[in-house]
Structure formats: C-alpha cells, structure tokens
Structure 1
Amino acid sequence: SELFLGHPDLKPEVKTENLSLLLTPADWDKLKNDYITSAKGKIKSYFGNILRLEVMEKWEKEVHPEVKENLYHSSLSFDIQTIIGEHMKISEVISRSLGMKMLELCLAELHEFIPRFGEEFVAWSTARDSPIFAPYFAAYINSFHDLMSGLETVFKVNTEELQKILAALTRNFKNIFFSKLRTKAQPLLKKILTKDWTLGTERPDSLASAVSQFSVHLQHMREPVGQELLHDVHKYVVREYIMQVIKPRRKMNGETRQQVSEKMNQEARILNNMLIDQGSDSNWLLPAIHHIANIIGEKKKDKIKEYVKELCQDYPDIR
C-alpha cells in the first residue's frame, strides 16, 4: 500500500545513520554474550574430541605417526588452528570485536587443553610399554611447536604464556622418555663385568639396540629439542657405562682384564657409531669408554700412566 511503501525508512535516499537501532545496546550485548557462552561449550567439545580421537585411533591401535619432511607428524596443530580460524571467521561476520573475543576464548580453552592432553599422554604411556611412545613424543613436540608458530604468524597472538605451558609439557614428556630408556638400559648396564658378560654370552650390540629403541626417533624431532635430547641420551649411556665399570669388583687376572678391555672397546664402538649415525654431535664423549678400557687391559705401569694422562687431558674435570 501507499502507506507502507511510502514510509521514509524505505526510500532509496534514506540515510542509514539516521535509522533507529534494531536492538538496544543492552540487547546487543546480551546476544553477543550468549553467542560466546554457546561457542565456549562447542570449542571445549571440539578440543575434547581431538584428544579422544588420538586416544582411540592412534594410541589404542598403536598406529605409527606419519613422517613428513623427515619429521614425525601429528594433525594436532592443523586441527586446532582450523577450529580457531573457522570460529573467528564466522564471528567477524557479525562484528570485528566479536571475532577478537572468539580468539580470546579459543586461547583460554587452549591453556586448559594442552596440560590436559599432556596428562593423558603421560598417563597412557606410563601404564604400558608401547613402541609408539617415542614416535608420538616427537610428533607432539613437533606439532605443538608448529601450533605456537601458527598462532604467532597467522593469528598475531603473544604466545608467551602458552610457551611456558608447552615447556612444562615438554619436561614431563622428557622425564617419561628417560624413565623408559632407563628401564630398558639398566638391566643390561648392570651385567657389565659380570661373568656372563665377560665370557661373551651377551651380544655386544644388546645395549646399543635397547638404547636405539628410543634414540633412533629423535632424528625425526624438530631442532633444537631433538638434538639436545640425543646429546643427553649419549651422555647418559656413556656415564652409566663407566659408572658400572668403576664399581668395586672382584680382582681380575691379566687374561680376564684383556677380555674385558676388548669387550668394552667393542661395545663402545657400536654405541658411539650408532648414536653418531643417528645425529649425535657429542664427539667429546667418544673416547671416554675407550680410555677406561685401555687402562683396564694394560699390564705395564708406564703405559697405564700414559692412558690415565690421556684420560685427564680429554676430561680434565675428573681430576
């Protein structure tokens, strides 16, 4: 009707700034708050589903992670950034301020999700001896590193607090890693200098094989974490090996000392070559066991003094 079509608000030349508000500020704020409250529950649920799928589809089924560009890969970073990006995109259609609130909400949920994820992974890995622990340990460190990078570059987020949370998670994962490594290595280390070990009933590569179950996966972990951890593994094995050798033992005759020296040199070569091949740059550790082996196997006092001198030159802190 003319009455309806002639209304001033429907005229083409109407000025939008003069139109009355469809919603009062109070109503608008209530709608935004209700929207954020609803989204909070959904995002918490989405993050929970990510964890649930990791448990059911990866950990329980012992599915090994993919390797991309020589790094163990997990979809965690991509999935989380997709959730954040999609919710921000939808929210920014309504208003830019709502988009920023959505980002803040996602980050708050992420502050809770990362520790919860870490606790679940630690609990799962502690409860069983699984061959996929070390690969996923590396994959998750890689993925959370990618997540921090994505938050900084794509979403312009200050990740300082998240980095602290990630550092704590990394420490916990490392503790489990070394606990599992010790569980595998200690029984073999304790056999050093026993009768069976001296007579050669133990394979010379048995210790190296046990260590490699963990160390071999570190070459697929992002730097510098992977390299630092491999250095720690190398240092741990050499230190523990020497500690077993220098424990007070029964006296050995010359022939036995020679056998022990040869066995130590053989195992040291296998261990060091394996760890160097896997990427260890701890060359300073290489001569340690050999020095001790040479001292044990030598009969002449003058030669023993020379070997001790060489040992002290390479490792002056042992004096």
Structure 2
Amino acid sequence: MDKSPTSAAGGILHRFSSFRKSTVSRIKERKSMSKKLSLTSDNEEEITEIFQIKDTEIPSKPCSVSQIREYIKMDKLKEAYVNLLSLRLEIQQKRGALEEGSSDVDLVNKETEISMLFDTLKNKIADIVRSRMLPSVNKELLAQLVTIVLQEEKKKSKRMPGWMEMWENAVRDGVRDTLKKVHLDKPEQNTSWLAVHLGLLGEAIEEDLKRVKAELLSSYPRDFNVFETYVSCYHEVLEVHLKELLEKVTEANDYRALLDFIIHHCPSGLRTEQGAMKLEQDLINKTKTAYCDRLMEDFKAALENIIKLERDDFWKTKKTPDRTDHGFLASRVNMKICQLIESYTRMLKEIDENHGKLFVRFSLEELHQFHKRFEEEFRQHTRSLLTSDLLDMCLWVNYHITYINTFLLLKEQIQCYRESCLTQVEQLEKDMDEVTQKFRQTLMDHFKTEIKPYLNGMMTKKWIKTDEDFTQVTSRIESYSGLCKSMRNPAAQIFVNDVHYYVIKEYVSQLMKKRYSCKNNKNEEAADKMRTQWKELKKLFEEMGSSLDWLYPLGNYLCDIIGMENEKSIKNILHPFVSDYPDISKTQMSAVLYFRDSGLSLERRQVINQFNLIKRDTGNIIHGHSFFIDMK
C-alpha cells in the first residue's frame, strides 16, 4: 500500500476539517499560534508544568553528538532534547560572536550535525507515535514526546518546521499500519473475502478508537485534538484502502458488502449524523454505479439461465408441463422473472433509491430481448417433436399452451411497474401480446394442417355416402376443445373463435368449388346431411365457448336453399339471408345453387336476378361481420 500522504478531501468529519491542514496553513489562518498551542484550560499552570522545559533543565554545556544520538536510540527523549537545546544555544552564541560577513567551517559542520540530530529525534518521535505508544506502556516517554512537540512548535523555528504536522503524519502512518495488519484473503481463496475483511476492519478501527479515547486522550493537551485527529486519519487512510479494494471487486455480493459497510456498518467513530461514513461522493457514486452495472449483467445472465433450465429440464427430456389447481398448463418462467426483478431491485433500493428505479427500467427493457431469445430457443429445440409420434406431437401442443399462459401472466404481473415505468410496461405489453399471438398462430396453423384434408372432402359424392371425413373433423375439434381448457383467457377465447371461424369457412367454401351437384332430387338428402353436421358443429363450438354466435344461422340458410323444391321458395329466404351475410357475392350464390342442382339453369337465373335486386337494395347496409369475402 502506498505510504505517501494522501489528500484529506472528503475523508474527515466536518467539524474537524480545519485540523487536517498543514501547520503552515494553520499558522496563516489563525491570528497567532498561541491559540493553537498555548494552554487555556482552568488548570493551565498544572499542565504547563507537565509539558514544559524549564531553562534550569537545559545543561550549560551539552554532551557530545554521539551521546545525544545514543539518548535518542535509548528512548531518552528529554535528555536528548535538552542537550540539543543546549547545543543549539551554544552554536547561536558562537554565530553571534563572529564578525559580520565572516564564516566558520566548524560552525557550519556543527549546524549540519544539529540539524541531522533534530531530524533523528523527529523520526524517533514519529516512530513512537506510529507504534501506538500508550501511557500504560510508558507514560513518561509519552509525556516527553508531547513536551518536545509543543516546545518546538512554540519556537516557530523556520529551520525546523512541522513538528505538529510530523505528529499528524505519524498518527496517519500508524493508522495505515493498523489497517495493513487486518487479514485479507484473495478473492479466489474465499468467496466472502471482502465481507470478512470489512468485518475485521470495522472491529480493528472500533477497538483502536476506543483505546485512543480511553488511554491516549488524557495523556495529551486538549489542543492536540487527539481523538479528532485519529478519526480524521482513519477517514483518509480508510478511503484510500476502500478505493484499492474497489479495484479488486468484480462480483455483486462484494460491491454490496462494500456499500453496506460504508452506509450501514462502518465503525461508530467514523459515522456522520446520518449514520453513514463520510467519503468522497465520487467514490460512493462509483461504487453504486459499479454495483448496479454488475447486477444488470447478473440479471441478463439469470434470464439466459431461465432459458437454459427450460431447455435442459423440459424440452430435451420431454418432460410434461405442470398444471395449476385450476387445470391450466404452467411454467415457473414468469415467477422466476418477477422474483429476479423484485429481488435485484430491493437490493439496490436498500443502497440507493434512484439506482433501484433505474434497475427496474433496465430489467423491463431487457425483457424486450428476452422473449425473442426464448421464442427462438424454444422453436429450435421443440421442432423435432412434430416429426415424432403422436405423444410427442401432443407434448409440442402442450408446450405452446404452457408458454401462452406464461407470457399472459407475465403481462399481468408487470402492471405493478406501470406508474413508475409506463413506457417500458407498454412496450412489454406489446411484446407479450406478440409472443402469445405467435404461439397461438403456430397452434392454429398446426390445427389447419391436421384438419384441412378432411374438410376438403366435404360436399363431394363421397361425402354424401359416408361420414368418414366429417368424423375426423369433429374428432380433431374435440381434441383441441380439451386443450383449450388448459389455456388461459383471453388467448383461449381468441383461439376457440379462430378454430370456429376457420372450420365453418372451410366447410362452406367446399360449396363454392363446384365439385359436385345434386342430381335426381339428391339435394334434399344433401340438405339433411348438412343440417345434421351443422348442428353437431354448433354443439361442439358452443361447448368450447365460441362467441361467434352470428355464424350459427348461416348453416340453416344454406341448408334451406339447398333443400328447397322450387325457385319461389328460395326467393322467400334470400332477403334475410343476404341481410345477415351481405358480403356474399353473385358468384358464390351461383355456386350454392349449382350444388343444389346444376341442371336448373333457368331457375338459377331467376334466383340470381332476385339476388341482384336484393344486393342492390342492401348495398349500403353496414354489417359488423365478414365471412364470404374471406373465401378464396
């Protein structure tokens, strides 16, 4: 760790910020040094007596330089200091006795020696301060140390400045040494390396400040501001240490531990009135941002893991989806996503409310990409089910219904964020509608593929003789009717309506293909068969819950027209028929009449003429439904 003095900005309690300035700055800012160092308490005389060197204590003749050096080495600070004072006085007297402009080499050498001795003494004092000398260990030595610092500061020596600054720096170095001794594992050694270290760090600082307050405080004059100085130094050194730790952090739980330490669990002696530790705001913001960024990356990875789990646990193993108590097919995908958003947001909000809100927006935006990746992976890994046996095909259908339900629920569950993230919620609503529509359309296309060959067999000579194709049609409708009970609304309702509309459209469109015409009065037989089948279809779709009630009368109209004996009877029902289904064309009407009997050309012409008149009269009527216009 760098041992150079660090900037004190932002690392000290507000009420002690002025104390951290250099001795020179403090001298300039204050009217006199006496306000800093003179003793102004009620027991001033007693304290002055303790921390003062009397003139009588200064020997008239100093001991040798080597002896002074030995005194310093043996921690006999006062002996060394009074002899240094005597030596300094002796040199000053010799310097004063020299004629103006003259010099003495020996005197210069002695001045150099005394300067070096004072530096040695200063370094010795710094070592003692840094080593946390306590009164219980050597009260006398500590008193000598304080006395020397006070004396030198009071002299305002230009040649030997900075004794208080030296003391502060020594305190800071001692604080730095204390933090260095706190155990720190490497990240690869212990996943909780930072949380453990910060816990030990807090304990070490707490204990040290308690020791300072209990033992050191009473051993220094009040104007040293001992406790405040230690707090200030801890702020400085700890801030540097936290910056170094931040450079090593890569995981979200470590960022969290760091922020939790700063905001909630820093040592009590370093807390502000708000409870947190006062540090440079840039450091705090940098840590919060890094934490948020890490959580965002973790969230994206967690979404990818959701897809992976679905792939490995369900699609690859062909596991049957779960069901709710109400019989709906279900997955845990939507719940996992909601729990992720809630959990990550809560963790961030505990640190910073704004970052929590930011994360909600990010997570909702990330879901915009998630549903596309999910759909792509799903199609890729379930496509093979369609080329396998019937059970696999049923499983393929069940998977589609499962994820229709999943994304419908997710659409509902994100509504709680509408007030704070309106834009993101509205976009996700569109996304969820899009993905459920795609899954629903895929099911519909599969249904069409299954049923179309049998619908194409309607209104043919074979159809008149057998119900084989129609039985296949109703069987598949019944199968999908059961599947729809596993699908949630509104998707289930839309799907049922789509099935109903498609079956009826394809059934009726067979009349338009002119592949068969009822000869020899077989039109009544065809009409009866068609009426029976129409009733069965109507019953099926009513049971499925179709809301397309307007389709039901269509079969009755067509059966009546096909089964009628003469042209006059047909004309009587043309008006209500065209009024209910105004988009039927002349060509389509002709095809229905052709199926009834291709040989009655004159009769058909008369019916068509009547049809044209009705179409002309009802041409401007606005109808809410279209049907015949959708037929090819």
For the criterion TM > 0.5, the same-fold answer is: yes
Distance in 2 (alpha carbons) for counterparts of 1:201 and 1:147: 44
Q: Name the counterpart of 1:131.
A: 394
Q: Name the counterpart of 1:120.
A: 377
Structure 1 segment 134-283 matched on structure 2, within 5 A: 134-153=397-416, 156=419, 157-158=421-422, 159-200=425-466, 202=468, 204-254=470-520, 256-283=522-549
SS in 2 for 1:254: coil
Residue 206 of structure 1 and its aligned partner are, at CA, apart by 1.8
> Is the aligned partner of 1:53 residue 2:313?
no
Q: Name the counterpart of 1:36.
A: 292
Residue 17 of structure 1 and its aligned partner are, at CA, apart by 4.5
Q: Name the counterpart of 1:104.
A: 361
12 and 100 in structure 1: CA distance in 2 versus 1, 3 angstrom threshold: closer
58 and 14 in structure 1: CA distance in 2 versus 1, 3 angstrom threshold: closer
Q: Name the counterpart of 1:27.
A: 283
Of the structure 1 ranges 120-129 and 278-287, higher mean CA displacement relative to structure 2 is found in 120-129
- Code of the residue aligned with 2:415 in structure 1: it is E
SS in 2 for 1:253: coil
Q: Name the counterpart of 1:300.
A: 566
The count of residues paired between Structure 1 and Structure 2 equals 319
| TM-score normalised by L of structure 1 | 0.85
Q: Name the counterpart of 2:212.
A: 4
**Paired residues of 1:47 and 1:113 also in contact (CA < 8 A):** yes
Residue 51 of structure 1 and its aligned partner are, at CA, apart by 1.6
Of the structure 1 ranges 306-315 and 224-233, higher mean CA displacement relative to structure 2 is found in 306-315
125 and 216 in structure 1: CA distance in 2 versus 1, 3 angstrom threshold: farther
Distance in 2 (alpha carbons) for counterparts of 1:263 and 1:317: 26
203 and 54 in structure 1: CA distance in 2 versus 1, 3 angstrom threshold: same
Q: Deviations over 1:39-69 (max 9, x none)?
A: 2332122112222222333334151441443
41 and 216 in structure 1: CA distance in 2 versus 1, 3 angstrom threshold: same
- Listed as ranges, the gaps of 5+ residues in structure 1 are none
Of the structure 1 ranges 283-292 and 59-68, higher mean CA displacement relative to structure 2 is found in 59-68
Q: CA RMSD in A?
A: 3.2
Q: Deviations over 1:183-237 (max 9, x none)?
A: 0121111111233322115154321222343344334433333323322221121
Q: Name the counterpart of 1:286.
A: 552
Following TM superposition, where does structure 1 have runs of at least 4 consecutive aligned residues deviating by more than 6 angstroms? 10-15
SS in 2 for 1:91: helix
- Code of the residue aligned with 1:132 in structure 2: it is L
Distance in 2 (alpha carbons) for counterparts of 1:62 and 1:295: 52
203 and 249 in structure 1: CA distance in 2 versus 1, 3 angstrom threshold: closer
- Listed as ranges, the gaps of 5+ residues in structure 2 are 1-133, 136-210, 218-226, 235-266, 387-392, 585-614, 616-632
Distance in 1 (alpha carbons) for counterparts of 2:379 and 2:298: 26
**Paired residues of 1:126 and 1:176 also in contact (CA < 8 A):** no
**1:73 aligned to 330, 335, 339, which one?**
330
Distance in 2 (alpha carbons) for counterparts of 1:189 and 1:69: 34
Fraction of identical pairs, as percent: 25
- Code of the residue aligned with 1:293 in structure 2: it is C
172 and 45 in structure 1: CA distance in 2 versus 1, 3 angstrom threshold: same
Residue 168 of structure 1 and its aligned partner are, at CA, apart by 2.2
Of the structure 1 ranges 63-72 and 77-86, higher mean CA displacement relative to structure 2 is found in 63-72
Residue 128 of structure 1 and its aligned partner are, at CA, apart by 4.0
Higher RCO, Cα 8 Å, sep 6+: 1
SS in 2 for 1:317: coil
- Code of the residue aligned with 1:4 in structure 2: it is V
**Paired residues of 1:291 and 1:311 also in contact (CA < 8 A):** yes
SS in 1 for 2:529: helix
Residue 173 of structure 1 and its aligned partner are, at CA, apart by 2.2
**Paired residues of 1:65 and 1:135 also in contact (CA < 8 A):** no
| TM-score normalised by L of structure 2 | 0.46
> Is the aligned partner of 1:86 residue 2:343?
yes
Residue 30 of structure 1 and its aligned partner are, at CA, apart by 2.9
**Paired residues of 1:122 and 1:173 also in contact (CA < 8 A):** no
Residue 266 of structure 1 and its aligned partner are, at CA, apart by 2.3
Residue 88 of structure 1 and its aligned partner are, at CA, apart by 1.8
Distance in 2 (alpha carbons) for counterparts of 1:233 and 1:66: 24
Of the structure 1 ranges 2-11 and 141-150, higher mean CA displacement relative to structure 2 is found in 2-11
155 and 16 in structure 1: CA distance in 2 versus 1, 3 angstrom threshold: farther
SS in 1 for 2:329: strand
136 and 14 in structure 1: CA distance in 2 versus 1, 3 angstrom threshold: closer
**Paired residues of 1:36 and 1:102 also in contact (CA < 8 A):** yes
Q: Deviations over 1:267-302 (max 9, x none)?
A: 222222111101112221112123223322333333
57 and 298 in structure 1: CA distance in 2 versus 1, 3 angstrom threshold: farther
